[in-house]
Amino acid sequence: LFAGQSEFLKGVVAMSGLPAADRMEVCFAGRSNVGKSTLINALTGTKALARASNTPGRTQEINYFTQGPDLYLVDLPGYGYANAPLSVVEKWQRLLKQYLGGRSTLRRAFVLVDARHGVKAVDEEIMGLLDRSAVTFQCVLTKVDKVKEKDLDRVLDQVRRALGRHPAAYPELVLTSSEKGDGIATLRSIIATLE
């Protein structure tokens, strides 16, 4: 699944812009700056693939990347901006709801959580939406290279407790460092089993 080339396909602002549902896809959600684009680059083994699309003004788009002929990787806009205007937040929430509820080929959502910060209230909002949309989601801790081992245990406890409140949560966590490459092969094989 990950042998083929990866390319930026398009940024989507409305359901009508979604590419044909002709292959499976997984999406990546998380607070702004948590490391979504970096993780997609690491998974695809490309340096600036996701970042290339990450120009201001495109931040509210759902960015589609092809990975070989059989998989889409979907970079959802980051949430949790302190000063995003309400109109922007509402537009984004509406599109997200439609996407999560209406995309038949979406196999799993990965909710990225910064290993230094754990699950925040905004993450739980997304998790609640995933529950209501019946989209199985799995939590990916990012930036584990930035956390000392003794601090990591405390965060893992907090994350596991939060996941326990969400029926759509898949219990197994994935610990990643896009910097060091930790967890990337694991995440690839998890995605490969979703076929």
Q: Does residue 58 interact with ligand GTP by CB under 6 A?
A: no
The residue within the footprint of Mg ion, chosen from 30, 35, 37, 173 (CB under 5 A), is 37
Tell which positions 112-141 bind ligand GTP, by CB under 6 A: none
Q: Does residue 143 interact with ligand GTP by CB under 6 A?
A: yes
β-strands 62-67, 71-75 pairing: antiparallel
Q: Would the CA dihedral through 83, 86, 91, 92 be positive or negative?
A: positive
The residue within the footprint of ligand GTP, chosen from 18, 26, 36, 109 (CB under 6 A), is 36
Cβ proximity to ligand GTP, 63 vs 133, nearer residue: 63
Q: Which does 53 bind (CB under 5 to 8 A by kind): ligand GTP, Mg ion, none?
A: none
Q: Does residue 146 interact with ligand GTP by CB under 6 A?
A: yes
- How many of the chain's residues bind ligand GTP (CB under 6 A)? 17
CB contact burial 69-106 (16+ within 10 A = b; e otherwise): eebbbbbbbbbbbeebeeeeeeebeebbeebbeebeeb
Q: How far is CA 10 from CA 52, 53, 66, in A?
A: 11, 9, 10
The residue within the footprint of ligand GTP, chosen from 6, 37, 44, 46 (CB under 6 A), is 37
